[in-house]
């Protein structure tokens, strides 16, 4: 498990999951490695493949995941990059299925920072499942989804009938939602000096009780965590009866075990 960014859930759930499956997981901080200084990613991928059955990586750049996958002789799991967080989103959809008993025809609304890996994978999944999704974010390119992801989602939506919209009003986005979702305003790697400016920009998109009231009465509240109470959502919401954030976190363990078992045949 190569980590270029911090982690609580991903690291612990992968380590625990691998142990429960009878294997062993090695935590390796990229900070302590020659990668990018004395060694390139293709050598890292080739060497690691001689020792292990599976590589998992949490990196900044998507290209690094692609390069690992290209040069490794073993499967590579993306544990988050700046463009995606697939293990999170698979666990999230498992959680939604558990709570709603179905994955048919839902509406998911997302609030806050939409220039964001988790938002992007939610868009991809809502597109694949033919859902409605409203992304409520400031009207500014630095906080909105990149065009390439909008295009990717819209291409899939043509086949599935999904509708994915950008909305600048939180209450409007929440209306008719089955799932209300938010993510950190300060994703890993965002410089601390941007915090105040970002807080100001995202505050109109904070998930409050009013936002939850505008959604369906049986709507669930999700956040991949880590979460700051008083930022992306109020304490009342994340600690309230509609919040399923800890079941969501637990499912990281179960879904990742399933992913590793699925990949075992390719070892
Ligand atoms: N949700 C998630 O991936 O959390 P960590 O950053 O703690 O792994
Ligand atoms: N968007 C967040 C997700 C954390 C799990 C980040 O990249 O930091």
Pocket of ligand 2 contains residue 114 by CB under 6 Å: no
Please check whether residues 126 and 237 belong to one and the same domain.
yes
Q: Domain tally for the chain?
A: 2
Domain end position, chosen among 82, 103, 126 = 82
Question: Does residue 87 contact residue 77 with C-beta atoms inside 8 Å?
Answer: yes
Quick one: tokens of 143?
A: 């906080």
Determine contact, residues 233/223, Cβ cutoff 8 Å.
yes
Question: Rounded to whole angstroms, how far apart are CA atoms 224 and 181?
Answer: 8
Query: Tens of pLDDT along the chain (267 residues)?
Result: 999 999 999 999 999 999 999 999 999 999 888 887 899 999 999 999 999 999 999 999 999 999 999 999 999 999 999 999 999 999 999 999 999 999 999 999 999 999 999 999 999 999 999 999 999 999 999 999 999 999 999 999 999 999 999 999 999 999 999 999 999 999 999 999 999 999 999 999 999 999 999 999 999 999 999 999 999 999 999 999 999 999 999 999 999 999 999 998 776
Rounded to two decimals, the pTM is 0.97
| 158 and 63 in a common domain | no
Positions marked active-site: 58, 85, 88, 183, 224, 252
CA 98/CA 94 separation, integer angstroms: 6
Choice from 57, 238, 252 to test ligand 1 binding pocket (greatest atom count within 8 A of CB): 252
Is 261 contained in some domain?
A: no
Are 73 and 143 a contacting pair, CB within 8 Å? no
Compute how many other C-beta atoms are within 10 angstroms of the C-beta atom of residue 6.
12
Do residues 10 and 102 both lie within one domain? no
Establish whether residue 184 lines the binding site of ligand 2, counting it when its CB lies within 6 angstroms of any ligand atom.
yes
- Answer with the one of 82, 113, 148 that is the final residue of a domain: 82
Both 62 and 131 in one domain: the answer is: no
Which tokens hold the place of 105?
């025809």
**Does 42 share its domain with 76?**
yes
- Are residues 201 and 129 part of one domain? yes
Tell me how far apart the alpha carbons of residues 204 and 193 are, in angstroms, rounded to a whole number: 20
| 196 and 97 part of one domain | yes
Please indicate whether residue 190, judged by its CB atom, sits closer than 6 Å to ligand 1: no
- Residue 184 C-beta-side C-alpha neighbours within 13 Å: 11
With a 6 Å cutoff on the Cβ, whether 60 touches ligand 2 is no
Dihedrals phi, psi of 2, to nearest 5 degrees: -90, 120
Cα 209 to Cα 76: distance, rounded to the nearest angstrom: 40
Q: Does residue 67 sit in the same domain as residue 97?
A: no
The first and second tokens of residue 91, run together, are: 């666990």
The answer to whether the CB of 89 falls within 8 A of the CB of 117 is no
Is there a single domain that holds both residue 98 and residue 131?
yes
Q: 63 and 194 share a domain? A: no
- The CATH number of whichever domain residue 7 belongs to comes to 3.40.50.1370
- Residue 267: the pLDDT is 61
How far apart CA 163 and CA 165 sit, in angstroms, is: 6
Pocket test for ligand 2, best of 224, 231, 256 (most atoms within 8 A of CB): 224
Pair 123, 198 in one domain: yes
| Domain containing residue 32 | 2-82
């Amino acid at each position: 498990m190569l980590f270029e960014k911090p982690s609580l859930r991903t690291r612990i759930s992968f380590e625990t999951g691998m142990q429960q499956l009878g294997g062993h997981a090695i935590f390796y901080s990229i900070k302590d490695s020659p990668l990018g200084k004395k060694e390139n990613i293709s050598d890292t991928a080739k060497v690691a493949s001689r020792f292990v059955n599976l590589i998992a990586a949490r990196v900044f750049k998507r290209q690094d995941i692609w390069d690992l996958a290209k040069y490794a002789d073993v499967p590579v799991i993306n544990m988050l990059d700046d463009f995606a967080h697939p293990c999170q989103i698979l666990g999230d959809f498992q959680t939604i299925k558990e709570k709603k008993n179905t994955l048919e025809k839902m509406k998911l609304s997302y609030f806050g920072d939409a220039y964001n890996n988790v938002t992007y994978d939610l868009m991809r999944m809502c597109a694949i499942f033919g859902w409605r999704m409203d992304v409520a974010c400031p009207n500014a390119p630095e906080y909105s989804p990149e065009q390439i992801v909008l295009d990717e989602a819209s291409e899939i939506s043509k086949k599935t009938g999904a509708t994915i919209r950008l909305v600048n009003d939180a209450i409007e986005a929440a209306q008719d939602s089955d799932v209300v979702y938010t993510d950190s305003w300060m994703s890993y790697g965002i410089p601390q000096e941007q915090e105040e400016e970002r807080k100001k920009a995202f505050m109109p998109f904070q998930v409050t009780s009013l936002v939850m009231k505008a959604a369906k009465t049986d709507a669930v509240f999700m956040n991949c965590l880590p979460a700051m109470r008083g930022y992306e959502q109020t304490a009342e919401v994340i600690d309230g009866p509609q919040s399923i954030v800890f079941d969501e976190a637990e499912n990281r363990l179960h879904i990742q075990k399933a992913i590793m078992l699925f990949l075992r045949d390719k070892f």
